Structure 1
Amino acid sequence: MQVYAPLDELKPVGDGIWVVDGPTIRFYGVPFPTRMTVVRLADGAVWVHSPIRLSEALAEAVAALGPVAHLVAPNQIHYAYLPDWSRRFPGASVWAAPGVAERAADHDVAFPEARALDGAEPWPGEIDCLVVGGSAVHHEAVFFHRASRTLILTDLIENFEPARVPWWFAPVAWLAGIKDPDGAMPRDMRWTFRKGRAELRAAVETMIGWGPEKVIVAHGRWYERDGVAELRRAFRFVL
């Protein structure tokens, strides 16, 4: 089932920002729809977040926006397709959250040389970057596209719509705390922040302070409006 068809097509989010929905993959047996975000920077360069499965048609559509200059692996799970994109666009800089290179090596993935997403501001005035701390294992970089007031997350919020998942997964999503319309951080991930709740709270407060109107997530329905309210709802367990 093509959950968010049409797939592999640029879908406008705002001025200079698009999402692309990709095929569903299996992660520990669970069907996960995939999604990447594409931004065209002020200088015309293209920024690609959490690249999905590469096809030549998709590569050409993204390249038509401008030179592909930045490829972003936002956490230790969302990196698998980035090497293909790096080979297709060898002039692009690769950016990786903490732990990505190590995870790739553990899975015998030849990951390209990457610049660290360590809280620096590689795209000042256009895309704010924050590495969310506090977890024992999950290190995710989040981004705020200022021009469109869009917050770009990956797995910190998941929001599975019951009508778009197999019947047996809907109750699992509810138990995990990731069922639309009350999608949030998966409960198993929350547990990894048990000793770092203050750091997580500070990160969430920073994201709220950015004042996003939209919140993009990688899995499930993303939020086209009321971004601040959705953040307060999804992270109420820590605020």
Structure 2
Amino acid sequence: MPWRQLDDDVLLGQFPLRAFAIDFARNVTLLRLRDGRVLIHSTAPFSAQDVEVMRAFGEPCWLVEATRMHDTFARAGCAALPDVPYLTPNESLRGVAAHPLLPPPAAWDGEIDLLPLEGLRGTNEHVFFHRRSRTLVVADSLFHFPAETRGWPRFFAQHVMRLPQLVGMSIFFRLMIRDRAAFEDSMRKVLAWDFDRIVPGHREPIQENARDILRASLSSRGFNS
């Protein structure tokens, strides 16, 4: 099973997603509200068993795509959960009808904060903060490869993505920043949240000291945060 629990109210599923002969993994993060309703962050080719796991965790009420770049499994994900509203940064992804992500559902008030990252071209990424678990969920604005990564994946992360410490913002994402000041302002708002864990859209979560790691990563690239 690809599922593991990171916190009482946070469940992570990891699904294969290969590119450049590397499994980058698609992370699907479930955030549970106090009343048991669940936000599902990102789509994947969910099996019937995956759906059972998600429904056992709580009541799936929102299926969310946080960026235009994460539509690979939009059709399969929505087909597996046909009764769950699909929320995205734009009206449709891969031809799948969707509801707007903004404004966020009123049910999230006081439990899940949502922030669009300004100053980007093409991606329109949004980030989520689950207050009770102190968990920040992002899409492509941060990568974290495990320290034991070896061979071609390690070379690609360090020398192509330009992540010498295997964690941080890839060169591909940095190239999508068109308004540096607007992006820095968004990141200052993110860093004002009291999070200690980050779940990126791919590979491994950062389980502790995540805010310090994000701040250091931004600083190393010359961003004022």
Displacement of 1:8 after TM fit? Answer: 2.3
Question: In the alignment, what sits opposite 2:181?
Answer: 198
Aligned with residue 117 of structure 1, among 88, 95, 101: 101
1:186 to 2:170 alignment: yes
Q: C-alpha offsets along residues 132-180 of structure 1, whole Å, 9 cap, x if unaligned? A: 1111222111000001010001110012236335x1232221122235x
RMSD of Structure 2 on Structure 1 (CA): 1.9
Displacement of 1:42 after TM fit? Answer: 2.1
Note if contact 1:157-1:178 (Cα within 8 Å) is conserved in structure 2: no
Question: In the alignment, what sits opposite 1:138?
Answer: 123
Question: In the alignment, what sits opposite 1:78?
Answer: 70
Normalised TM-score (structure 2): 0.88
Normalised TM-score (structure 1): 0.84
1:217 to 2:189 alignment: no
Displacement of 1:220 after TM fit? Answer: 2.4
Question: In the alignment, what sits opposite 2:80?
Answer: 88
**2:203, 2:81 → 1: CA distance?**
28
Displacement of 1:37 after TM fit? Answer: 0.2
What SS class does the counterpart of residue 20 from structure 1 fall into? Answer: strand
Percent of matched pairs sharing the same residue:
24
Displacement of 1:28 after TM fit? Answer: 5.0
Q: C-alpha offsets along residues 2-42 of structure 1, whole Å, 9 cap, x if unaligned? A: xxxxx422x2222211111222x223554312211002222
- Judging changes above 3 Å, is the alpha-carbon distance between structure 1 residues 163 and 44 closer, same or farther for their aligned structure 2 residues? same
Aligned with residue 54 of structure 2, among 49, 53, 62: 62
Displacement of 1:59 after TM fit? Answer: 0.7
What SS class does the counterpart of residue 235 from structure 1 fall into? Answer: helix
Displacement of 1:214 after TM fit? Answer: 0.6
Farther-moved stretch of structure 1 (200-209 vs 156-165): 156-165
Letter in 1 for 2:130: H
What SS class does the counterpart of residue 170 from structure 1 fall into? Answer: helix
**2:129, 2:36 → 1: CA distance?**
18
Note if contact 2:145-2:166 (Cα within 8 Å) is conserved in structure 1: no
What SS class does the counterpart of residue 51 from structure 2 fall into? Answer: helix
Q: C-alpha offsets along residues 51-89 of structure 1, whole Å, 9 cap, x if unaligned? A: 222111111111112321100011122222233232232
**2:81, 2:166 → 1: CA distance?**
38
Letter in 1 for 2:35: D
**What are structure 1's unaligned runs of at least 5 residues?**
1-6
1:17 to 2:10 alignment: yes
**What are structure 2's unaligned runs of at least 5 residues?**
none
Letter in 2 for 1:208: L
